[in-house]
Chains A and B, each alone.
Chain A
Amino acid sequence: MAGEEEQQLSTEKENGDLSTTPKERSTSLKRLESGYCSVISQITSDGRIMVGHDIEILPDKERTEYASPATKAYEAKSRNLGGEHFALICGCATVPRVTTIGSYKGLKSLHILRLIEAGVIDWRPENCQKFALIYEKPAGKKMMESADAIPYKVSEDHLIPTIIEPAVKALSDFRNIDFIHGAINAENIYMSGMQGTERIILGDCLSSAPSLQQHPLYEMASRAVAQASGRGPGTIKDDLYALGICVVMAARGKNFMLGKSPQQIIYEKIEHGSYGAIIGRERIPGGVSEFLRGVLNDDDDQRWSIDDAMRWLEGRHINPKPSRVILKAARPLIFREKKYLDLRSLAEEFSKNVSDAGVEIEKGQFELWLKRNFEDKALRARFDDICEKEKTAPRDRWIFSVCMALDPFGPLRYKGRSIFPGGLGMALAEAMAQNEDIQIYGEMVLQQFFNDWIGQIFDELPDAAGIMSILEKSRGVLSQKMPGYGIERVLYMLDQEVACMSPILRDYFVLAPGNLLLALESISQSGTRPDTILDRHMIAFISVRERQMIDSHLGYVNSSNKGNQMIGIIRTLAAIQRRFFIGSVPGVGNWLISMTEPIVKLLKDHELRQKLARAIGRLQDNGNLTALLELVDDPILIQDDAKRFGMACREYKSLVLEKRAIESYFRKRKYFGKATGRQVAMLFSSVLSVIVIAGYVVLRLMNGI
């Protein structure tokens, strides 16, 4: 693998590829490190699903207790390893975290699920490919069996050793490998050990993108208002926040989700702050209370980091500062027959009722209410700026800007979508997987909504410039419509872990171009081959994941000339076959051969065409795409052929002219050649006359002598 990385780097250097930032390069290397992109399963002759030679997944033994709403869990057994196992089976839509599996597997923590194996498997029950994560079964039950169950109650004395200490240590290990759990919740925590001496084990976090499965209860109000796929990866502080909620639930033995809708929970968090909404006035043991005040702080700057939590565990006293007071109006604003005192709730409601919000603002009462109730100069400046700028903008955009001014740290709320810039990739992936309208996301990027959002809080965002840069790149990509660019490329640029979402590859889990070629091989043998081999998704996917494979041939791949297009496709697939050391792919080879007619037609010489077609035909069932490429991709031959064709055209033209001239002679057949004949007769006569005269003279002279 290391050799491959070096090769990759040296190739980049040779190509003078300086456009990638060190961060992008490290991501690329991280991706290459991952061997979890390959298909790791085999179906045995008796129909069993084997992962390697050791682990068997039992599709008839579903284990719902380990599943999540987006994944399914099945019993798995290992021949060599002891203990019990289960396999989590996930699809493309959840975007398993393939780039971090290696780092996770390397962790030695006792407080996380032990990952045995991971990779793409052929999932026989659904006749498609899925991503499988095989974990060792945790010894113990879940802290909370289901969303409507009562959580396991831990006595106040045991909260720290049972939950907080193991979780913080595990999170500290995560921090060391630059990893975020993103799925800490009471339903994903296992209580291991004997009663009274239990220790928690954090459940699976690899089967889906961070925060994708999280209930708003486990998220800060600012993140909770965003759609789950649009929250972005978050930070380890968000993990600590979720841990804090779990600690309270375990301390109380109370499920805060029961009887409350997510909206109600969010509203309460906005209204009372997280700590106030979750704990209220009830008593919490002094030590734990300090921890909870720290991790549930709504002020991002004041919220505890993992270092703070570690220091606290070591016994140091850290006095958490109270959360920033949420701006509240003295008098409520009545909108749609409901009273609003805070701006976040109002922004949320405005975004959901754009036309009513427009009417409300146009009435002028809203501006007055804002001025009278909030003495916030920054807010007033933001609002005035928007009123100035967006006066003539369409209503959707206008309300979007108003919501952004009211809640600058909240998500971007536009046409029913509610996302943070960091969550754009995942939101796009989810929309594509569910066949939703993706143009809204394109609009948001093209109209620079994200830039406006970042511009408002530029100084408060840790990597504002980096986000701006990637969004600008995305805008550039979106403005180009040709295959390899557009919204598909934006998806793969923004989400490094998403599988290729081509409709052709619906039943496959393609995480790398090598898998793509193998998937195409499988499709080619299925008998339902599509008309095109590489569609827009695949081109964008290959271009983003392995730019050397396709970028230099993109002109050919996008050519309007079918022959050149096919050469581009063969070049790309042959490069993938070489780069990923993929053996013979006779199905793809035959598929490509069946589409080589336009390439053959690039040659004008019919004899050469026949010769080439015969040579291509000999590669049937060979599966070596490089051999095919060598045959069809000969620019010198094509140039020479074109040159000779030009000469032949000129020759034909001159022949036509000559033929016409001869035909015109033939039309005057009666006189044709007569002029020449007369001239020849004249010459003949003259010569004969000279001979006769000369002969006579000679004879006379001879006689005279």
Chain B
Amino acid sequence: MAKKDKKSEIKKKLKTSRMPFSVRFAFFMLPVAALVFLPSTIVFSVCMIPTLVAAIVDNHQQKTAWLTVGAMNLAGTVPIWFSLWDTGHTVPVAFQLVSTPGTIFLSYGGAVIGWIIYYNVTPFVAAIVLGKNEARYKAVERRQKELIKKWGEDVVSN
């Protein structure tokens, strides 16, 4: 009986650890789509390298750098991808586009803006949060003093 129970438990675990069908389908479809739209894949693969780098170098727990950089990197890549579609969605055009300095400048420039945002907005917001907490800390201390003044030291001991 005990062995049977163990087997059924393992089966259950396997069932729950299995990815849902939609995800497995997406994983299957992604390389297919990449092959079908190979020119776009080439453009995005080259233009989005800074995002990949950001994801690799970000050692923070939240891993928000790749998203910050990636968003602006994407904004710079989208016009190139549109021009790929305009000039014909072929592999040679894709290679031609990615080897053009303007294309690299545009997409990587977006990534640079992303990094600028990442390195400026973060301390700015942190400074605001810190200031707010400092003000709250003072307010708490003030209120404590008020309570002691009104109720005496008993309010502390009780």
Interface residues of A, Cβ cutoff 8 Å to B: 604-607, 645, 648-649, 651-652, 655-656, 658-659, 662-663, 665-666, 669, 672-682, 684-686, 688-690, 692-693, 696-697, 700
B9 within 8 A of A: no
- Chosen A-B contacts, 23 in total, with CB atoms closer than 8 Å, are A604-B154, A645-B155, A648-B150, A648-B155, A649-B151, A649-B155, A651-B143, A659-B137, A662-B137, A666-B133, A674-B122, A674-B123, A678-B65, A679-B64, A685-B114, A685-B121, A686-B67, A688-B72, A689-B75, A693-B75, A693-B78, A696-B75, A696-B79
B130 contacts A606, C-beta separation under 8 Å:
no
CA distance A686 to B75 in the complex (A): 9
B158 within 8 A of A: yes
B129 within 8 A of A: yes
Give the distance to chain A from B146, nearest Cβ to Cβ, in Å.
Answer: 10
B125 contacts A685, C-beta separation under 8 Å:
no
A685 contacts B69, C-beta separation under 8 Å:
yes
Chain B residues whose C-beta falls within 8 Å of the C-beta of A673 in the assembled complex: 125-130
Which interface residue of A607, A673, A690, A700 has the most chain B CB atoms within 10 A? Answer: A673
CA distance A655 to B71 in the complex (A): 41
CA distance A658 to B64 in the complex (A): 29
B7 within 8 A of A: no
CA distance A656 to B155 in the complex (A): 12
CA distance A662 to B135 in the complex (A): 10
Interface residues of B, Cβ cutoff 8 Å to A: 60, 62, 64-65, 67-69, 71-72, 74-75, 78-79, 82, 110, 114, 117-118, 120-130, 133, 136-137, 140-141, 143-144, 147, 149-152, 154-156, 158
Give the distance to chain B from A190, nearest Cβ to Cβ, in Å.
Answer: 74
CA distance A659 to B60 in the complex (A): 27
A685 contacts B137, C-beta separation under 8 Å:
no
A676 contacts B126, C-beta separation under 8 Å:
yes
Using CB atoms, name the residue of chain A closest to B77: A693
Given A655-B140, A677-B126, A700-B82, A649 contacting B75 (CB threshold 8 A): no
B144 contacts A659, C-beta separation under 8 Å:
yes
A672 contacts B62, C-beta separation under 8 Å:
no
Closest 3 CB pairs of A and B: A673-B126, A677-B122, A673-B129
Chain B residues whose C-beta falls within 8 Å of the C-beta of A669 in the assembled complex: 130
B151 contacts A672, C-beta separation under 8 Å:
no
Given A673-B129, A679-B62, A684 contacting B117 (CB threshold 8 A): yes
Chain A residues whose C-beta falls within 8 Å of the C-beta of B141 in the assembled complex: 659
CA distance A663 to B138 in the complex (A): 11
A689 contacts B74, C-beta separation under 8 Å:
yes
CA distance A684 to B122 in the complex (A): 10
Given A606-B151, A677-B121, A677-B126, A662 contacting B72 (CB threshold 8 A): no
Contact of B121 among A666, A681, A692, A696 (CB under 8 A): A681
Which interface residue of A606, A652, A658, A678 has the most chain B CB atoms within 10 A? Answer: A678
Using CB atoms, name the residue of chain A closest to B82: A700
Chain B residues whose C-beta falls within 8 Å of the C-beta of A685 in the assembled complex: 67-69, 71-72, 114, 117-118, 121
Inter-chain residue pair count (beta carbon < 8 A): 135
B79 contacts A678, C-beta separation under 8 Å:
no
B149 contacts A606, C-beta separation under 8 Å:
yes
Give the distance to chain B from A606, nearest Cβ to Cβ, in Å.
Answer: 6
Using CB atoms, name the residue of chain B closest to A604: B151
Chain B residues whose C-beta falls within 8 Å of the C-beta of A649 in the assembled complex: 151, 155, 158
CA distance A651 to B144 in the complex (A): 9
A652 contacts B155, C-beta separation under 8 Å:
yes
Give the distance to chain A from B46, nearest Cβ to Cβ, in Å.
Answer: 19
Chain B residues whose C-beta falls within 8 Å of the C-beta of A679 in the assembled complex: 62, 64
Using CB atoms, name the residue of chain B closest to A651: B147
CA distance A655 to B129 in the complex (A): 19
A677 contacts B60, C-beta separation under 8 Å:
no
Give the distance to chain B from A153, nearest Cβ to Cβ, in Å.
Answer: 85
B151 contacts A605, C-beta separation under 8 Å:
yes
A672 contacts B130, C-beta separation under 8 Å:
yes
B60 contacts A678, C-beta separation under 8 Å:
yes
Using CB atoms, name the residue of chain A closest to B61: A675
B75 contacts A677, C-beta separation under 8 Å:
no
Chain A residues whose C-beta falls within 8 Å of the C-beta of B136 in the assembled complex: 658, 662
Chain A residues whose C-beta falls within 8 Å of the C-beta of B78 in the assembled complex: 692-693, 696-697
Give the distance to chain A from B140, nearest Cβ to Cβ, in Å.
Answer: 5
CA distance A652 to B124 in the complex (A): 33
Chain A residues whose C-beta falls within 8 Å of the C-beta of B69 in the assembled complex: 685
Chain A residues whose C-beta falls within 8 Å of the C-beta of B72 in the assembled complex: 685, 688-689, 692
Give the distance to chain A from B31, nearest Cβ to Cβ, in Å.
Answer: 26
Chain B residues whose C-beta falls within 8 Å of the C-beta of A684 in the assembled complex: 68, 117, 121
Give the distance to chain B from A686, nearest Cβ to Cβ, in Å.
Answer: 4
Chain A residues whose C-beta falls within 8 Å of the C-beta of B122 in the assembled complex: 674, 677-678, 680-681
Chain A residues whose C-beta falls within 8 Å of the C-beta of B155 in the assembled complex: 604, 645, 648-649, 652
CA distance A105 to B67 in the complex (A): 114
Chain A residues whose C-beta falls within 8 Å of the C-beta of B126 in the assembled complex: 672-674, 676-677
Given A659-B144, A665-B133, A700-B82, A676 contacting B117 (CB threshold 8 A): no
19 more CB-based (< 8 A) A-B contacts, given A685-B67, A696-B78: A606-B152, A645-B151, A648-B147, A648-B151, A651-B147, A656-B144, A659-B140, A663-B137, A672-B130, A673-B127, A676-B129, A677-B123, A678-B60, A679-B64, A682-B68, A685-B114, A692-B78, A693-B74, A693-B78
Chain B residues whose C-beta falls within 8 Å of the C-beta of A675 in the assembled complex: 60, 62
A680 contacts B121, C-beta separation under 8 Å:
yes
Which interface residue of B71, B72, B121 has the most chain A CB atoms within 10 A? Answer: B71
Chain A residues whose C-beta falls within 8 Å of the C-beta of B151 in the assembled complex: 604-606, 645, 648-649
Chain A residues whose C-beta falls within 8 Å of the C-beta of B129 in the assembled complex: 672-673, 676-677
